[in-house]
Amino acid sequence: MKINIKTKVPGPKSYKQLLLNKKLNGGWSVPHPFVHSGQGEGCYFKDLDGNTFLDFASQVATNPLGYNHPDMLHVLKQYTKQTPIKYAGQDFLVPEHNELLEELLSITPKGINAGFLINSGAEAVENAIKICMRYEHKPKLCISFKNAFHGRTLGALSLTNTTKKQQKESFLSIPTERLPYTEEAGNVLLNLLNTYSPTDIACVIMEPIQGEGGYNIPPEKMVQDIRAITKEHNIPLISDEVQAGMGRTGEWWGIEQYGVIPDAMSVGKALQVGATVANKSLFPEEPGSISSTWGGGHRLDLALGIQVIKTIKKKHMLNKVNKQGKYLLRRLHELSTEGKVMHPRGKGLMTAIDLPSNKMRNDVVMEAAKNGLVLLGCGLTGIRCIPPYIVTPKEIDEAMAILSQAIKVCSQRNFTHKGNICTFADCSQTHT
């Protein structure tokens, strides 16, 4: 497949569906200006109007193998004649529950030997917080980082630190202290320990690379200092791997980039389900302390998650992520010589750039979509480039050409978009 834009974006069929969704969807959050048809191959997909796009957003990092991968289609066919697909998995076991746990725990860091399956990344974070709270018995607070994003459920949202009012305004919050996402984090944590005892602190939670907050990469010293301090004081350290995990950075887990092992991890997105993983001793002993009706019971999602891990192993995709990630980052650095692109950064296929303003970033993401390239914003001025793990150098070159042209167009004085796409003026903003 290749990019082929036949209509204005959004096309008439997509536009009709987008307007209907705006009317009916109580959680409407300004989607991208197309509606998926289900057709696609590799890094490309078609919308309802027959337009073909190149996906450098990977469904917010949930689609590591691209569209209609043969391994995933093979799994799908096995479940076409079964019902129900979803079981109350914590009470009524299905084989896929154990199979996914075995596959997942085969790739987790040493000492992380138990997991709890759940529906989403936010719920994985939520349950990581809960098991740490129970471990510390009666804690008073949690600790997270400035610009962190951990999810939308209330516990995870409490640890999220964002300037986007729509994400947090009026929602109750559990007590939380913030650390800078810099080399000073260790010193700030030590100062907090002059105010709080270690048993007051339920957990320290950290993204190994910040996602929604701007694709910020921490100094290695920061990560190692935080691990050393939390370990010395027996404070559970959670690595939020929902976006950076499952191979996205070129290692199975983003935290592995820094040579440390956390006490617990939250997993989601590319796994197709959510999972809280930790040493078995960190989980509560009482049966039912954490649970969920659908947790570990969505057979098709579990089976697809199993296959994602198997395919990454079988196809040696971590090597490919590292190789193509280096090439993508090199191309982003080349773009930065054109004057508008700032701070190209990333590990593996978790890469980003910044543009001069929030408006320009939003305009560029829309302009790229109009020309067949799907991108995502992050932070206030960042653009994520996160293609599926199967991306080729040719596709990277194709994406960079469109991105470069979009930046040139949107740099023109008084540039504005016109037409139906203006209904989705904030389509680069993500709320996941």
Q: Answer whether residue 142 is part of any domain.
A: yes
Query: Tell me: the pLDDT tens digits for 107-145?
Result: 999 999 999 999 999 999 999 999 999 999 899 999 999
Averaged pLDDT for residues 262-289: 97
Same domain, 297 and 335: no
Query: Tell me: the pLDDT tens digits for 145-161?
Result: 999 999 999 999 999 99
Q: What range does the domain containing 306 cover? A: 95-314
Q: Answer whether residue 270 is part of any domain.
A: yes
Q: pLDDT class for 251, splitting at 50, 70, 90?
A: very high
- pLDDT over threshold 50, residue 286: yes
Torsion 125-129-130-132 (CA) sign: positive
Same domain, 258 and 360: no
Q: Answer whether residue 40 is part of any domain.
A: yes
Number of structural domains the chain divides into: 2
- pLDDT over threshold 70, residue 431: no
Give the count of alpha carbons within 13 A of 317, CB side only: 22
Count of other CB atoms within 10 angstroms of residue 375: 28
Q: Given this model, what pLDDT does residue 240 score?
A: 98
Q: Given this model, what pLDDT does residue 169 score?
A: 83
Averaged pLDDT for residues 378-396: 97
Q: Given this model, what pLDDT does residue 425 score?
A: 59
Output the DSSP codes for 267-303.
E-GGGSSEEEEE-GGGS-SSTTSS--SSTTTBHHHHH
Same domain, 273 and 327: no
- Percent of the chain scored above 70 by pLDDT? 98
- pLDDT over threshold 80, residue 163: no
Q: Answer whether residue 323 is part of any domain.
A: yes
- pLDDT over threshold 50, residue 309: yes
In terms of Cβ atoms closer than 10 Å to its own Cβ (0-12, 13-18, 19+), residue 178 is middle
For residue 84, is the peptide bond before it cis, meaning its omega torsion is within 30 degrees of 0?
A: yes
Q: Answer whether residue 206 is part of any domain.
A: yes
Q: Given this model, what pLDDT does residue 426 score?
A: 56
Q: Give φ, ψ of 45 to 5 degrees.
A: -145, 160
Q: Answer whether residue 191 is part of any domain.
A: yes
Which of 272, 295, 314 is where one domain is finished? 314
- pLDDT over threshold 90, residue 329: yes
Residues 215/382, Cβ–Cβ less than 8 Å: yes
Averaged pLDDT for residues 307-314: 98
Q: Given this model, what pLDDT does residue 101 score?
A: 98
Helix axes 317-336, 299-314, angle to 10 degrees: 80
- pLDDT over threshold 50, residue 423: yes
Count of other CB atoms within 10 angstroms of residue 163: 10
Residues 261/111, Cβ–Cβ less than 8 Å: yes
Angle at 7 between CA 15 and CA 406, to 5 degrees: 95
Output the DSSP codes for 139-191.
--EEEEETT----SSHHHHHH---S-HHHHTT-----EEEE-SSTTHHHHHHH
Same domain, 320 and 310: no
Which of 314, 330, 347 is where one domain is finished? 314
Which of 314, 336, 371 is where one domain is finished? 314
Same domain, 121 and 228: yes
Q: pLDDT class for 432, splitting at 50, 70, 90?
A: very low
Residues 282, 131: Cα–Cα separation, whole Å: 7
Averaged pLDDT for residues 188-202: 97
Laid out side by side, the sheet with 342-347 consists of 342-347, 350-354, 382-385, 376-378
Same domain, 157 and 222: yes
Same domain, 229 and 249: yes
Q: Answer whether residue 217 is part of any domain.
A: yes
Same domain, 310 and 321: no
The model's pTM is 0.95
Whichever domain contains 277, its CATH number is: 3.40.640.10
Residue matched to tokens 């100062």: 191
Q: pLDDT class for 189, splitting at 50, 70, 90?
A: very high
